Structure 1
Amino acid sequence: MENFKKILGILWIFLALITAYFCVFEFGLPKLSTGHQEDTVFGIIILFILTPIISIGLGIFGYYALSGEYNENKM
Protein backbone atom coordinates (compact mmCIF):
# COMPACT_ATOMS: atom_id res chain seq x y z
CA MET A 1 0.00 0.00 0.00
CA GLU A 2 2.88 2.38 0.70
CA ASN A 3 4.22 1.99 -2.85
CA PHE A 4 0.75 2.71 -4.21
CA LYS A 5 0.67 5.95 -2.19
CA LYS A 6 4.04 6.96 -3.64
CA ILE A 7 2.83 6.27 -7.17
CA LEU A 8 -0.24 8.40 -6.48
CA GLY A 9 2.06 11.12 -5.14
CA ILE A 10 3.83 11.23 -8.48
CA LEU A 11 0.43 11.33 -10.19
CA TRP A 12 -0.70 14.29 -8.04
CA ILE A 13 2.49 16.22 -8.84
CA PHE A 14 2.00 15.49 -12.54
CA LEU A 15 -1.62 16.67 -12.29
CA ALA A 16 -0.42 19.88 -10.60
CA LEU A 17 1.85 20.62 -13.56
CA ILE A 18 -0.85 19.81 -16.11
CA THR A 19 -3.37 21.95 -14.23
CA ALA A 20 -0.96 24.88 -14.10
CA TYR A 21 -0.39 24.62 -17.85
CA PHE A 22 -4.08 24.50 -18.72
CA CYS A 23 -5.07 27.25 -16.31
CA VAL A 24 -2.43 29.62 -17.66
CA PHE A 25 -2.23 28.87 -21.38
CA GLU A 26 -5.71 27.56 -22.17
CA PHE A 27 -7.97 29.52 -19.79
CA GLY A 28 -6.16 32.57 -18.40
CA LEU A 29 -4.07 34.20 -21.11
CA PRO A 30 -6.59 33.79 -23.96
CA LYS A 31 -9.23 35.50 -21.81
CA LEU A 32 -6.89 38.43 -21.08
CA SER A 33 -6.16 39.01 -24.75
CA THR A 34 -9.80 39.36 -25.91
CA GLY A 35 -10.22 42.92 -24.64
CA HIS A 36 -13.70 42.45 -23.19
CA GLN A 37 -14.11 43.50 -19.58
CA GLU A 38 -15.84 40.31 -18.41
CA ASP A 39 -13.16 38.17 -20.06
CA THR A 40 -10.39 40.24 -18.47
CA VAL A 41 -11.89 39.83 -14.99
CA PHE A 42 -12.32 36.08 -15.52
CA GLY A 43 -8.73 35.79 -16.80
CA ILE A 44 -7.36 37.63 -13.77
CA ILE A 45 -9.35 35.40 -11.42
CA ILE A 46 -8.09 32.27 -13.18
CA LEU A 47 -4.45 33.39 -13.29
CA PHE A 48 -3.97 34.95 -9.88
CA ILE A 49 -6.47 33.18 -7.62
CA LEU A 50 -7.50 29.76 -8.91
CA THR A 51 -4.26 28.61 -10.57
CA PRO A 52 -2.08 28.98 -7.45
CA ILE A 53 -4.69 27.41 -5.17
CA ILE A 54 -5.25 24.37 -7.39
CA SER A 55 -1.68 23.78 -8.58
CA ILE A 56 0.08 24.39 -5.28
CA GLY A 57 -2.52 22.34 -3.40
CA LEU A 58 -2.12 19.36 -5.71
CA GLY A 59 1.66 19.69 -5.63
CA ILE A 60 1.86 19.77 -1.84
CA PHE A 61 -0.51 16.84 -1.55
CA GLY A 62 1.61 14.87 -4.03
CA TYR A 63 4.82 15.80 -2.23
CA TYR A 64 3.45 14.60 1.10
CA ALA A 65 2.24 11.35 -0.45
CA LEU A 66 5.61 10.83 -2.14
CA SER A 67 7.61 11.56 1.01
CA GLY A 68 5.62 9.08 3.10
CA GLU A 69 3.79 11.58 5.26
CA TYR A 70 0.58 9.53 5.02
CA ASN A 71 2.12 6.21 6.07
CA GLU A 72 0.12 4.34 8.67
CA ASN A 73 3.12 3.35 10.79
CA LYS A 74 4.65 6.86 10.98
CA MET A 75 5.24 8.04 14.54
Structure 2
Amino acid sequence: MNGALDVDGQRPAGERWRSLCSACRQVFGMPDYERYLEHAAARHPGAPVLSRNDYCARVIERRYGQGAGRCC
Protein backbone atom coordinates (compact mmCIF):
# COMPACT_ATOMS: atom_id res chain seq x y z
CA MET A 1 0.00 0.00 0.00
CA ASN A 2 1.58 3.18 -1.15
CA GLY A 3 -0.62 5.64 0.75
CA ALA A 4 -1.66 7.50 -2.43
CA LEU A 5 -4.97 9.32 -2.17
CA ASP A 6 -7.72 9.42 -4.78
CA VAL A 7 -9.40 12.62 -6.03
CA ASP A 8 -11.58 12.85 -2.89
CA GLY A 9 -8.52 12.83 -0.62
CA GLN A 10 -9.16 9.27 0.56
CA ARG A 11 -7.43 5.98 -0.03
CA PRO A 12 -8.80 3.98 -2.97
CA ALA A 13 -11.65 1.60 -2.12
CA GLY A 14 -9.53 -1.50 -2.80
CA GLU A 15 -6.86 -0.35 -0.37
CA ARG A 16 -9.46 0.46 2.30
CA TRP A 17 -11.01 -2.99 1.81
CA ARG A 18 -7.63 -4.74 2.19
CA SER A 19 -6.94 -2.72 5.33
CA LEU A 20 -10.33 -3.65 6.80
CA CYS A 21 -9.79 -7.33 6.00
CA SER A 22 -6.34 -7.23 7.62
CA ALA A 23 -7.78 -5.63 10.76
CA CYS A 24 -10.51 -8.29 10.95
CA ARG A 25 -7.95 -11.08 10.61
CA GLN A 26 -5.95 -9.56 13.48
CA VAL A 27 -9.01 -9.29 15.71
CA PHE A 28 -10.00 -12.91 15.11
CA GLY A 29 -6.44 -14.27 15.18
CA MET A 30 -6.48 -15.47 11.58
CA PRO A 31 -3.28 -15.71 9.52
CA ASP A 32 -2.58 -12.60 7.41
CA TYR A 33 -0.25 -13.68 4.60
CA GLU A 34 0.05 -10.23 3.03
CA ARG A 35 1.14 -8.75 6.35
CA TYR A 36 3.68 -11.56 6.71
CA LEU A 37 5.09 -10.72 3.26
CA GLU A 38 5.45 -7.05 4.22
CA HIS A 39 7.16 -8.02 7.49
CA ALA A 40 9.51 -10.48 5.77
CA ALA A 41 10.54 -7.90 3.17
CA ALA A 42 11.16 -5.21 5.80
CA ARG A 43 12.81 -7.27 8.55
CA HIS A 44 14.32 -10.28 6.76
CA PRO A 45 15.38 -9.15 3.26
CA GLY A 46 16.92 -11.90 1.18
CA ALA A 47 15.53 -14.68 3.39
CA PRO A 48 13.32 -17.30 1.74
CA VAL A 49 9.59 -16.55 1.97
CA LEU A 50 7.04 -19.22 2.87
CA SER A 51 4.24 -20.12 0.48
CA ARG A 52 0.73 -19.20 1.62
CA ASN A 53 0.01 -22.84 2.58
CA ASP A 54 3.30 -23.21 4.48
CA TYR A 55 2.71 -19.90 6.25
CA CYS A 56 -0.80 -20.91 7.37
CA ALA A 57 0.48 -24.30 8.57
CA ARG A 58 3.24 -22.58 10.57
CA VAL A 59 0.76 -20.15 12.16
CA ILE A 60 -1.46 -23.04 13.24
CA GLU A 61 1.52 -24.96 14.61
CA ARG A 62 2.73 -21.93 16.57
CA ARG A 63 -0.70 -21.30 18.00
CA TYR A 64 -1.64 -24.85 18.95
CA GLY A 65 1.66 -26.77 18.94
CA GLN A 66 4.41 -27.11 21.51
CA GLY A 67 6.81 -24.24 22.20
CA ALA A 68 5.14 -21.12 20.87
CA GLY A 69 7.52 -18.41 19.73
CA ARG A 70 8.03 -15.34 17.58
CA CYS A 71 10.69 -14.37 15.11
CA CYS A 72 11.09 -10.78 16.32
TM-score by length of 1: 0.30
Higher relative contact order (Cα pairs below 8 Å, separated by 6+ residues): 1
The structure with the larger Rg is 1
Greater helix content: 1
